[in-house]
Amino acid sequence: MDTENKYKHGFNRGYIQLRQCDVKQAKQELKEALYIYNEVSFRKYRYGAINIKALQADRVTAVFAKYGITDIWGK
């Protein structure tokens, strides 16, 4: 059985769907959801260079849901 981890490519797909006026606030909320505080780590999570944990994935999904975005995971 071959299953692909849907989180392995990060959440860039959802991030690029954010409205420009929401990007700054959403980015701060995403950093808090991931428990990170610097740009380098944020980019690594965004593009999937760092594997996201289940709790973090749930929190990231909740942030995007707040902005009406449901197709989050992937390039």
Instruction: Tell me the C-alpha distance between 65 and 53, whole Å.
Output: 18
Instruction: Tell me the C-alpha distance between 49 and 71, whole Å.
Output: 19
What tens digit of pLDDT does each residue of 5-30 get? 667 789 999 999 999 999 999 999 99
Where are the domains positioned within the chain? 20-66
Question: What does the pLDDT read at residue 2?
Answer: 42
Instruction: Tell me the C-alpha distance between 28 and 17, whole Å.
Output: 16
Listed residue (17, 18, 56) closest to 34, CA to CA = 56
Question: What does the pLDDT read at residue 8?
Answer: 73
Instruction: Tell me the C-alpha distance between 50 and 7, whole Å.
Output: 10
What tens digit of pLDDT does each residue of 47-71 get? 999 999 989 999 999 999 999 999 9
